[in-house]
Structure 1
Amino acid sequence: MGKIVISSNVTLDGVVQDPDGEEGFARGGWFHQFVAGKDLEDWVARETREALNAEALLLGGRSSEWFAARMLARDGADLRVSPEWANRVRSMPKYIVSSTLEDPRWNNATVLDGDVVQEISELKRKVDGEILVYGSYRLVRTLMEQSLADELRLVVFPVVLGTGLRIFDETSDRTPLRLVDTRKMGEGLVFHTYEFVRGQRL
């Protein structure tokens, strides 16, 4: 049985938009501004362990294109990640939720273009292990709304942007989670792990 894990970098006020500053958001680029030295070393180590332990990636169409544009023509050093992480992400099976994408740029991708709940439920039955979700914030909301997500992992950056797309924008109801772990990373990052609590919509 697969376990869907949402993994995200967020600012202290929950913004996830444009971490690398390449999307034109006025307050983008916050990742590079606040990750260096020991922070970057610990971040890379955590990301690498997570990817090596996962069995598949689940992405929305836009996030799939975002990662493909950065991953397929660049190496790990350029991306500020380890070569092991980059190679694992490239080689891992990918499932892309999109009703419009016909030709994904990855050579190991399956497009899920039918009923989202049914197809992802079937994916969880088929994959034995962790299914990582990077980015894909509209998809993330669907996973939470439909009780398909199992775990949430957040790396919190020490900055408040005050505006921008947040991971929990526009949820239809409150969703309880249980704190599993929290730890400091480097000198300024904090890593939180939560489990989604089933059957307790508030």
Structure 2
Amino acid sequence: MSSIVVQAFITLDGVVQGGGGPDEDREGGFDLGGWSMDYDRENDTLNEAGAIIEDWESRTEALLLGRKTYDIFAGSWGVWDENAEGFMGELTRRYNRIPKYVASRSLTDTSWKNTHLLGPDVPEAVAKLRDEPGGEIRVWGSTQLIRTLAEHDLIDEYRLVFYPIVLGTGKKLFPEGFPVSRLALVECRALASGVVVSTYRRS
């Protein structure tokens, strides 16, 4: 059996939008992109967060993405140089090799290698994937997809990297109306930078 694992960089007010760069996701007029990368650059001198993400990603056996996140990933990891040094090249090679499962009714360009559309019944398709032997199926971004998965009790674990930042605007991981979810804290680690990394599993 595989496990569905949601990973997110998240502010204290629950925002997960556009942490990676100023143009990563400007939907809704969001103009605060790059907040997590900027914070790490200024404060994570030990690269603790980077080491944690590297460990997590070494376990990724598939990606499960919504349409918008898939477009972001395909336009970055899907075209970056696999021969780049260090973690960048390693993760690019991994993301190109593993299957990508996408929830979309309108996507037509699946040219990023090993991309598969989930079809019209996303919960059923994900349940079948989860029942198959394998490792961790990673979910990044994809807030609408995460809500759908939570509605059908298909999320096994949340790995949340909390930044001591309040943005006051942006897409939230757990917005108003999110399904009731009971979780157990299994790990919590405070980094020297002030970031707190917490792992929750279904209780």
TM-score tier by shorter-chain length is 0.7 to 0.9
* Partner of residue 200, structure 1: none
* Partner of residue 27, structure 1: 32
- Structure 1 residue 28, shift from structure 2 partner: 2.2
Is 1:142 equivalent to 2:148 in the alignment? yes
Q: Is the 8 A contact 2:187 2:200 kept in 1?
A: yes
Identity of aligned residues (%): 37
- Structure 1 residue 128, shift from structure 2 partner: 1.4
Is 1:132 equivalent to 2:138 in the alignment? yes
Equivalent residue for 1:73, pick from 76, 79, 83: 79
**AA partner of residue 34 (structure 2):** G
> 1:185, 1:104 → 2: CA distance?
38
* Partner of residue 10, structure 1: 10
Aligned length: 196
Q: Is the 8 A contact 2:147 2:178 kept in 1?
A: no
CA 1:39–1:177 in structure 2 vs 1: closer, same or farther (change >3 Å)?
farther
| Structure 2: tracts of 5 or more residues without a match | none
Is 1:62 equivalent to 2:68 in the alignment? yes
> 1:173, 1:68 → 2: CA distance?
29
| Structure 1: tracts of 5 or more residues without a match | 198-202
Q: Is the 8 A contact 1:145 1:171 kept in 2?
A: no
> 1:127, 1:188 → 2: CA distance?
37
CA 1:74–1:17 in structure 2 vs 1: closer, same or farther (change >3 Å)?
same
> 1:82, 1:174 → 2: CA distance?
36
> 1:167, 1:18 → 2: CA distance?
12
Aligned pairs for 1:94-109 within 5 A: 94-109=100-115
Is 1:193 equivalent to 2:202 in the alignment? no
Aligned pairs for 1:35-54 within 5 A: 35-36=40-41, 38=44, 41-54=47-60
- Structure 1 residue 67, shift from structure 2 partner: 0.8
Q: Which moved more, 1:135-144 or 1:23-32?
A: 23-32
Partner secondary structure for residue 50 of structure 1: helix
- Structure 1 residue 75, shift from structure 2 partner: 4.5
Partner secondary structure for residue 102 of structure 1: coil
- TM-score (norm. length: structure 1): 0.88
Q: Is the 8 A contact 1:55 1:127 kept in 2?
A: no
Partner secondary structure for residue 35 of structure 1: helix
Partner secondary structure for residue 70 of structure 1: coil
**AA partner of residue 196 (structure 1):** R
Structural RMSD (CA): 2.2
- TM-score (norm. length: structure 2): 0.87
* Partner of residue 171, structure 2: 165
Runs of 4+ in structure 1 deviating by more than 6 angstroms, as ranges, are none
Q: Is the 8 A contact 1:9 1:155 kept in 2?
A: yes
